[in-house]
Structure 1
Amino acid sequence: MIHINNLSFYYKKSSDGVKNVTLDFSKGKITGVIGANGSGKSTLFKLISGYIDVLPGKIFLEDIDITFDPILSKSKVSICFDSPSVLKPLTVNENMEYYNLLFKKPAETISDILEELNLTNFKNYPARKLSFGLTQRLNIATMLLRDTETLIFDEPLNGLDPQSITILRELFLRYKEKGKTLIVSAHLLAEIEKITDVVVILKEGRVVFNEVNPSKAHNMFFLAECENTSLNKIYLNNIGPYSESTRKLRICTRDIEGLEGMKVVSQTQQIEDIYNFLYQYD
């Protein structure tokens, strides 16, 4: 379990970052984190995995504040970034053996991981000769050697062919069954809808949606909006995450009771509809 408590972080000379983020990531669940480029997804992942220092009381891993035990996040959390990082002169198998110098897993563990990612037939290929999809799968294979409780995949599906996407989808579901905590970001909303248990939408560093995957739970959501005023902001802050644009405040909710002054625009169970609605700009 990862608990994030009112976390804010901004880069120097930039407004990019995350603002007042409170989230939980549970074991045995796949959480999809989606948002436009610059919405704060990668920053959030770097904060969770210890690549960026955080203030005390903001991120708890297994009820331990990672500020006081930063090694914990390194030992319990693995992250795979969207740009594959492999040793190109080495073969697939040599890459695995090189990284395994750190983790000292049995040889059969390497074989099992390569099999899981359909890389066995390529184990003697130099990494520089692999396609982008195969390189990404090798990148994930080296990550899996760590065998941590939490696995973060930052845009793992970008630029992949349909076969690679299917292989990764099946991999995510297998590791969910193993009781791992999986966090996946992707721009392919149809894939997020297929594999996730929980969906989080970030916009300009803020959480604007955080719910059980509506298509899986068969939950109907109301898409509603009101004028962007100070009073309406105070009102919505008491209800839940909302999206803000120049003229409108927008909320996606299962319960319209008490939403006085809100205009219900439509109803949906589709992630894409919710995402597009919350990302509207006026």
Structure 2
Amino acid sequence: MARRRVGAGKRRRFLTIGICAAVVAAGAVVTPQAFAGTTGGSAASAGGGSFFERLRARFNQGGAGNGGNAGGGNAGGQNGAGCSDVELVFARGTGEPQGLGILGRPLAQALADELPNQTVGSFAVVYAAASNQQSAGPGATNMTQHIQQVAQSCPETQFVIGGYSQGATVTDIAIGIRGVGTQGQAIPANLRDKVAAVVVFGNPLGIRRQTIARAAPEFADRAVEFCATGDPVCGGGNNFAAHLSYARNGDVPEGAEFAAGKIGG
């Protein structure tokens, strides 16, 4: 399926707010799990017969779980005991069980493959990913607080942050974009330089005819947004299947390559 990478200076088509609202409603139908809340970074939600379980099987992403919060990756590293050189902090999409999700897990692996001489860890943002979209703010707060905690104990760690669908909104709020969802805590100014790259897929920011480059210029040169052709959530299409195409259309390895290119050292 054709895809588009969204960057500064590129124009995109958008649906009206009414159509986009209908798409969100459709998303709630195909992803019926509206998690009331999650506790613990690696807790998995039930729902083995859910839409996303079947989707993972289709994409051969495999596994009963959906990825947790763990360090690891490659050997080496100069950042002290228990600290990764690079950490991916990723927020899954609406309705997915707690974990890195169908895009975060392959993105973590692809990023590790791109950085063979550095240790690469990952953290799955802990948030409800509820179908009413109201959990994005609390998710941003969790993302921010995790970065603060790691930065305090691992001052040399560089972060790659991102998300898919509602998880992209989590990321938008965390980098200080206002009015895109429920309120949440943004990454403080003194830690923003530690965010080496931002990688998002199917970002609902497009509903507002915006991009990260325009809404958060501070991150313009280190952010990449992927919007599949026809995706109604981010780019003016009417094909909801396009919003589910990112795990197989090549955008994940491209996002990892982009992020790796922003890592210093």
The alignment's TM-score, normalised by the length of structure 2, stands at 0.30
Q: Could you say which structure has the higher strand fraction?
A: 1
Larger radius of gyration: 1
Tell me which of the two structures has the higher relative contact order, counting C-alpha pairs closer than 8 angstroms and 6 or more residues apart. Answer: 2
The alignment's TM-score, normalised by the length of structure 1, stands at 0.29
